A and B are shown apart, each in its own frame.
Chain A
Amino acid sequence: MSIKLGTGDLAKYPFLNEASEYIRETHFDFEEFNRLEMKHIINRAAERMETELINGMIYQKLDKYEVEILTFLVTLMMAKSIGIEIILKKHSLFEAMRAERFLSEDLKKEKSEQKKRLLLSKIFEELFKVTVDIDSADNRLFKVRVTDYLIRASNFHEQEWKLINRLVNKGYVYLDAEETVRLIRSELSTLIYSKVKSMTLSTLPETIKAKADELRVKLVPNYEHRIHKVTDYYPPCIKHALEIMNQGENLPHSARLMLATYMLAIGKSIDEIVVLFHNAPDYNERITRYQVEHLAGLKGSRTKYSVPSCEKLRNENLCFATEECNGITNPIQFGRNLQKNL
């Protein structure tokens, strides 16, 4: 007997193709958002965004699927209307984390193996081309291919994600439900982000626009885009990292390490460096400060980290060398004389 996704699943995972089909099948017209009975949905969407973007928390409430699918859609329209990149990035990340929470609960509590397999197939395989299997000996564990694991987990910097600290056998890494779902957080976030980016809204329903404008006024003081000056004196690898950061993109761990050690090496203060990371979608001042202090040799192992060599950066695809880089082996050597003026 084949098994299908239930409406409860669409409520939890409104980014699935089946949720979009539901909207199409019901012939829902966006102008319907101007009707009075839709006020509840719009308020709920605004509440969801405030919880994420002002309180920095995952929105926990879960209603029936008709409400959830429309609420999710309205949040995307609002994010589009607000038009601030960092807000969109952060919203996408929180929505991914919300789905992550539901999914790990489902994988832990769901008794039917067939249903678990369906969720794994719909989310991991269809959306992200990752095959996840249930361990035959212990159905609380999930198996992913070593390469699928490495592509994702090598970006996480906690020791526990290193392959050596995992249960590895015959080409598979064994993970519990939470760990399995954590692997695709970044891809989920990118999926939601791309949904907003690809949205074409000729006219936004008036009620949504008004609410989005209201939300923008509340959010702007928190998210005023802090563009950091990218000077010509920085080497191209550092310039590139700063530009990525200025766009609110998620910079990989290795690039963050390069940026922080470089800034420390040219004499920037801890405060100045912490602020540089403000635009990162996963920014947390306390953690960032600790990490920068750690690199400066003020915390943890008390070892001051040096700027990675050009060779290492090339290997990590972080090198964007120009002719001016000729003859240098470390970004710190770039335009030695000019750096005095920074």
Chain B
Amino acid sequence: MISNNDDQFKEKNIALLRNAFRECYFKHSKIIEVPERMEEHEFGYMQFGSGMIRHLAFRNIGELLARLIKDIPSDVYCSNAYYRFPTYDMQEKQWMGADLIFDIDAKDLHLPCELLHTYFICTNCGEVQETKTEICMYCKTGKLNHVSIPCNKCNHALKKEVKRLADLLIYDLGIKEKAIQIYFSGNNGYHIHISDNEFHRLNSQARSDIIGYLIGNDMTTESIGVRKAEVSSDGFLIKFPKGGMMYGWRSRIAQKLGVDQSSITKLRNIVQQKGGYGGFKAELLKMTKDMGVKIDPQVTMDVHRVFRMAGTINSKSGLTKMRCNNEIESFDPLNDACLLSDKEVNVEMKVPIKVKLKGQSFNLRKETARLPVYAAAYLICKGLARVN
């Protein structure tokens, strides 16, 4: 997050990042993952200090790498969709399907630790403050953006959420474990790509139904046997569904309530305790929401999105979007995805900060510091430091 109005430092910051990114793409080009049927994807990239370039196509990794090293984009994207004509305008591309993708971001988990490591950066003067105010405390005009320096608790919670998602995908939706590719997003979350052709053909509406299933939205009381009935003195009656409750959400809720197909009286008592049909319905919605997975619905629903490409650097952090399937338990983003060089540069800190990167702790209390490029880039990308 390089502030637009941080002009005196902007160019120096960009120069440092461009050099660091170029060197990284040169050294670690093998990490870049080429999508299947590469020529059917749309590619795009964001330029430092400039806008987005979209509707590109590359036939092979060589062409793509040449462009990356020549232009040094701040962020590189690739469509989840397959198109007949990926370089044409959106209306003329001819959509042929899209990979199913999920995004789990720490901001959607609303973790209690979040406020402890969130900083607020003025969009006008670029100054940083640790408390949230309506407008910037320094220039008194700018609005504030927030950035987060994720902690171990965030990473642990994110991994737990990824595991919960993977379980639902495997056990309910029948997706094979080897078709689930887990990536660290390069900033503060994880991307889960499904490489299963069966799901390619699903339109946005069908994907929205999958999202509803995963996040636990819109479960009806009828599907676990509680029916509204004006004629009954209780205002409801118990009639279990024909198909039973042995699988999926029905089974999860039945277990949570401690009921099965033979527990008519027990379920009736539970509903009455919750205040009847309406009360039980509200309770069920709350239960399913709590038990559902916290994914970003827009990302999964959008079948025309360009999505951060695996193996490229995220300019929000200077970290790399990396596959971490086998090592998810031990994966440490601030170490394993930190690929920029360790040459040293001088930076000016906007705020005192403690951070651990590549196994090294940085306790930055003074206004200036000499840091390895990977740490300097991390703090500059976050908007918490600038090139001195």
Contacts and interface: CB of A to CB of B under 8 A. Distances in A.
Interface of A: 138, 140-141, 145-147, 150-151, 153-155, 159-160, 162-172, 174-176, 252, 254, 314-317, 320-321
B303 A168 contact: no
B335 interface: no
B172 A170 contact: yes
Which 10 residue pairs of A and B lie closest in terms of their CB atoms, listed nearest first? A171-B174, A169-B247, A150-B206, A168-B248, A315-B204, A165-B223, A154-B206, A163-B213, A167-B243, A154-B205
Given A168-B249, A171-B175, A317-B204, A160 B209 contact: no
Interface of B: 90-91, 95, 171-175, 198-199, 201-206, 208-210, 212-213, 216-220, 222-223, 241-250, 288, 301-304
A165 B219 CA distance: 6
Contacts of B198: 145, 147
Nearest to B203: A317
Contacts of B302: 315
A167 B250 contact: yes
14 contacts: A147-B198, A147-B199, A154-B206, A162-B213, A164-B288, A167-B244, A168-B213, A169-B172, A169-B174, A169-B247, A169-B248, A170-B172, A174-B243, A315-B204
A153 B250 contact: no
A145 B202 CA distance: 13
A321 B304 contact: no
A162 B206 contact: no
Contact of A174 (B223, B247, B301): B247
A140 B242 contact: yes
A151 to B, nearest CB: 6
A151 B206 CA distance: 6
B202 A147 contact: yes
Contacts, number: 109
Contacts of A155: 205
B173 A146 contact: yes
Contacts of A151: 201-203, 206
B243 A176 contact: yes
A316 B242 contact: no
Contacts of B249: 164-165, 168
Given A145-B174, A164-B223, 5 more contacts: A146-B174, A154-B203, A159-B218, A162-B209, A164-B249
Contacts of A175: 243
A22 B340 CA distance: 73
A235 B349 CA distance: 51
A252 B205 CA distance: 10
A140 B242 CA distance: 9
B98 to A, nearest CB: 11
Contacts of B209: 150, 153-154, 162-163
A165 B213 CA distance: 8
A170 B304 CA distance: 28
A164 B288 CA distance: 10
B222 A316 contact: no
Given A168-B172, A171-B175, A154 B247 contact: no
B92 to A, nearest CB: 11
Nearest to A170: B174
B304 A315 contact: yes
Contacts of B205: 154-155, 252, 254, 316
B212 A163 contact: yes
B218 A165 contact: yes
Nearest to A322: B91
Contact of B222 (A145, A160, A169, A174): A160
A135 to B, nearest CB: 9
